[in-house]
Chains A and B, each alone.
Chain A
């Protein structure tokens, strides 16, 4: 499985990857990093991943802008947010654009696992 982790924080990318590695069905997954939406869009266009976990608030291109860009480009990929900001309005906006899950920071491997149930 090829997983793209998008976050401008190196620390958070490390935490997300470590949490995923502790979830049995992601054991052996290959991880790629992107530091913002633009870099993620390029990475997805080059090699479509099986799953994208993205921060919301990032420089250059935010997570929701990335999801919009993927929709505009007709690229369908299991996509969700891992974000410290999680309001009902953001949930609604994410859902409207086709996000499959939304995980609030801080999270645990268990809460991430639950959020990803049925996604991949």
Chain B
């Protein structure tokens, strides 16, 4: 049924986002709260390239990834000068700055008016307008991201990331250039998030700044903390829980006018209880 397909597409998009953040936070231990910014850059890139230039969707993903990669390297470089708490605060700051740019650079993004009329992808004449076909596209991307993520984390590159998470100073002593590793994974995570953004833009056919504010970054963080840091299966479980939860609440007769406030209460409580009793999340291997 179309509604279930819709939910499945959202789960797919958020899985890609969560997996991307997991590489940065879960495996490398960098508390980054700005993933929505990269999500947004990917979405706006696709939106602008498709509506103003008629570019092919898949090509726009590549362009979007390149732009996001460059921006994330700049942001990542600045952030690498900070540690711990300051890193998180700095990332907050970047999210807000990027959001301001989406909102105020109106000649490019049309600001709060948003960009409507984004077309669905087309490839070899195959029309992705049918939701079920779009879902298959999303699943293909999500699987690709999942396996890429697993490949990275199981490789020797991934082992260095985990070592950075556990004790950065120690691994520096061994001669590893930790800055290189941190920047690389930060950029990779950002580029993957931009793929999710492109899919989002084409699916909803409309983007506007409100979807990429700080609260979205916090939501993605909550997903991976719930599901389990540094565990890719856990991340998907977290996505399923937190995306299905508000939709399920639609059916379970909470009085309409407090339903979404109750959802916020639930999120907050989930975060608090997890931190108190299970900081590694449901399936995670890394205790924050």
Q: Do A and B come from one complex?
A: no
- Chain A residues packing against B (C-beta within 8 Å): none
